[in-house]
Amino acid sequence: MARVVVLGGGVAGHTAATFAADWLGKEHEVVVVTPNAKWNWIPSNIWVGVGEMTKEEVTFDLDPVYQKAGITYKQAKALTLNPEGNASSDKPFVTIEYTGQGKVGKTEEVSYDYLINATGPKLNFAATPGLGDANGLGEFTVSVCTADHAVHASHELHKCIDKMKKGERQKFLIGTGHGMCTCQGAAFEYIFNIEHELRKAGVRDMADLQWISNESFLGDFGIGGLHMKRGGYAASSRLFAESLYSERGVKWLIGAHVNKVEKGKVSYELLDGSMGEQEFDFAMLIPPFAGVGLKAFDKAGEDITATVFAPNGFMKVDANYAAGAYENWKASDWPKTYQNPTYKNLFAAGIAFAPPHPISKPMSSPNGTQIFPTPPRTGMPSGIIGKAVAHSVCDLIKKGSGAHLHHASMAEMGAACVASAGKGLFDGSAAALTVYPVVPDFEKYPGIGRDLDYTFGEIGLAGHWIKHILHHMFIYKAKLNPGWTLIPE
């Protein structure tokens, strides 16, 4: 009997664990270690953040789902990793600390045959003074990164709406809270949801909406932008994004590294080296992501964290980390199997794997401050990678160490993204985008790096309906309801 331990219960971890349990059956054990008691469909946090959905509509209890799947669930966080075991045993193990299940603070060593690291990110609010600290979100801004953050954001938003109804003008600042952030798409969706809510409340004229981000051009989205067919042209996402911002009266400030947040004010540095300030009454700034800080030790107890993890805390996998400058980057730098090169029974999935380099071109100000988006690994790619890794691990268990490992390179997969504003069936609007592949392959698709037949985007009600369907479909799937394996990631 083999034991597969999955660290993390988000999109990648939940997908990996549930498929592994389904494919392995009762002959083997799947253990999920996650500090959360609830699963969260994070894309819909945007709707929670404007009060269109409740926390309960985007979360559900993990325990009954894992019981149904025959998965051992430990509500705990991983602290250390011993891939060689220790002085008394050769069996690799992970040390965890419980955060629930009546064992808060207790530690335990969980041995494994295969480990899938899908911890997701640490929300590194502490990277920007005033944005927050090591304990989380600060007092001056809001966030939609978790369901609880989104509930808080909604309360603050409605306070502003009340002020506007009383005639007090409000300024909204939405975007990224540091020069090295990812997830611009979430902030993009949030600012247009706020705009929609303000219109609905009849106070749009009382609001100034300001976008601030680390993108070097609007529409970069952390993937270096994209091109799509539009009116007989291959049009850049820059045109698409600038058009939407202009249409909705949202001003934009790009190439910005927010270096300080104070009450009602952010300070920033731009790519040209100039410094500036933006005042706000309401600010939602995405924090940068980092690894969760797992430490690794060898059999003798020596610290081997630098062997297993990259300096940013994400796990090293089969990527080319020596690609060097942007001019040398290739699609083949991106990992295919997500297997750790040193310890072959270690895999990573979703945000937890260390990317070889960004997707957007790195840029820095004359002062040496790096200002560019880091690569997104969320949503559809996360799920696909989680499933591929689970497939590889199951084959290694069932067919032996020579089994073929499954591939899921972000340079060979596409992603669908729907940013929808509003919640009603007919009063919403969405920007529906697909990009193929996620990581541009300039050798295969010279010039624009992507396949124009499968990279497209448009705005309208249709995308809005798709967003609704995706919300219900993925929660249905994550609850392991009948037919869940037939729903694609």
Partner 1 sequence: MKEIEKYVKPYDASFTTMVPTSFVKFFRTCKIWQFIRFIIINIKMLIVVRKSH
Nearest to 16 by CA among 319, 270, 388: 388
**Which letter does DSSP use for residue 391 in this model?**
H
C-alpha–C-alpha distance, residues 225 and 1, integer Å: 47
- CB count, 10 Å around CB of 75? 21
Interface residue list for partner 1 (CB under 8 A): 239, 242-243, 245-249, 251-252, 380, 384, 387, 412-416, 426, 429, 432, 434, 436, 454, 456, 458-463, 465-466, 488-489
Nearest to 372 by CA among 189, 192, 213: 213
- Whose Cβ is closer to partner 1: residue 110's or residue 413's? 413
CB 269 within 8 A of CB 103: no
- The letter for the amino acid at 446 is P
CB 412 within 8 A of CB 437: yes
- Whose Cβ is closer to partner 1: residue 323's or residue 416's? 416
Residue 470 Cβ vs partner 1, minimum distance, rounded to whole Å:
10
Residue 460 Cβ vs partner 1, minimum distance, rounded to whole Å:
4
C-alpha–C-alpha distance, residues 406 and 418, integer Å: 28
Residue 219 Cβ vs partner 1, minimum distance, rounded to whole Å:
10
- Whose Cβ is closer to partner 1: residue 416's or residue 448's? 416
Residue 154 Cβ vs partner 1, minimum distance, rounded to whole Å:
26
* CA-only gyration radius of the chain, Å: 22
Cα-based distances in Å from 343 to 84, 116, 145: 9, 12, 32
Residue 304 Cβ vs partner 1, minimum distance, rounded to whole Å:
34
C-alpha–C-alpha distance, residues 62 and 479, integer Å: 8
CB within 8 Å of 98: residues ≥ 6 apart:
74, 75, 76, 104, 105, 106, 107, 108
Q: Count the alpha carbons within 13 Å of 427 in the hemisphere toward its beta carbon.
A: 9
- Whose Cβ is closer to partner 1: residue 304's or residue 384's? 384
- Whose Cβ is closer to partner 1: residue 323's or residue 461's? 461
Residue 366 Cβ vs partner 1, minimum distance, rounded to whole Å:
22
C-alpha–C-alpha distance, residues 216 and 220, integer Å: 7
Residue 459 Cβ vs partner 1, minimum distance, rounded to whole Å:
6
- Whose Cβ is closer to partner 1: residue 242's or residue 298's? 242
C-alpha–C-alpha distance, residues 115 and 442, integer Å: 34
- Whose Cβ is closer to partner 1: residue 295's or residue 468's? 468
CB 372 within 8 A of CB 214: yes
C-alpha–C-alpha distance, residues 311 and 288, integer Å: 15
C-alpha–C-alpha distance, residues 194 and 183, integer Å: 17
Nearest to 333 by CA among 439, 413, 438: 439
- Whose Cβ is closer to partner 1: residue 20's or residue 76's? 20
- Whose Cβ is closer to partner 1: residue 149's or residue 477's? 477
Q: What is the DSSP string of 447-485?
A: TT-S-TTT-EEEEEHHHHHHHHHHHHHHHHHHTT-TTGG
Residue whose pair of structure tokens reads 């990996």 in the numeric block: 16
Residue 455 Cβ vs partner 1, minimum distance, rounded to whole Å:
9
Residue 428 Cβ vs partner 1, minimum distance, rounded to whole Å:
10
Q: How many residues does the chain have?
A: 489
- Whose Cβ is closer to partner 1: residue 22's or residue 298's? 22
Residue 269 Cβ vs partner 1, minimum distance, rounded to whole Å:
19
- Whose Cβ is closer to partner 1: residue 247's or residue 302's? 247
- Whose Cβ is closer to partner 1: residue 159's or residue 229's? 229
- Whose Cβ is closer to partner 1: residue 403's or residue 416's? 416
C-alpha–C-alpha distance, residues 284 and 146, integer Å: 13
Residue 436 Cβ vs partner 1, minimum distance, rounded to whole Å:
5
Dig out the tokens for 374 from the structure: 């880091």
Cα-based distances in Å from 126 to 123, 133, 460: 9, 4, 38
CB within 8 Å of 51: residues ≥ 6 apart:
154, 157, 158, 197
Residue 176 Cβ vs partner 1, minimum distance, rounded to whole Å:
18
Residue 471 Cβ vs partner 1, minimum distance, rounded to whole Å:
15
